[in-house]
Amino acid sequence: MDASLLTIAPGAPEPIYRQIVEQLRRMIAGGQLPPGELLPSVREVAGFHAINPMTVSRAYSLLESEGLLERLRGTGMAVAKSARARAPKPSA
């Protein structure tokens, strides 16, 4: 996955970390991010979108706690093997 696939709207009423979470959930549920797919690093996403790295880290950690992402030692974050089954189905 490339950091440019995420769309961040800094002026939107929804917090940036929630924007990231919702976009990644949709991509996982829709099959655009298959199990095992590596996500860009926190620093890469933060740098590309000019946002605080803690914002990206918060989004990734939330998705990890939901079982959608898994932390791979020495590699980074990846879509969990069971993520598609856990992801909420897109509403429309």
Among the listed residues 76, 69, 72, the one whose alpha carbon sits nearest the alpha carbon of residue 45: 76
Helix axes 42-49, 53-65, angle to 10 degrees: 130
**What pairs with residue 77 in β-bridges?**
71
Q: What is the pLDDT of residue 5?
A: 94
pLDDT means over runs of 10, the chain (92 residues): 94 97 96 96 97 98 97 95 68 52
Let me know: does 87 contact 68? Beta carbons within 8 Å. yes
pTM above 0.75, yes or no: yes
Question: Looking at the domain that runs over 3-86, which CATH code has it been given?
Answer: 1.10.10.10
Provide the pLDDT for residue 83: 74
Q: What is the pLDDT of residues 20-44, one digit of tens each?
A: 999 999 999 999 999 999 999 999 9
pLDDT at 82: 85
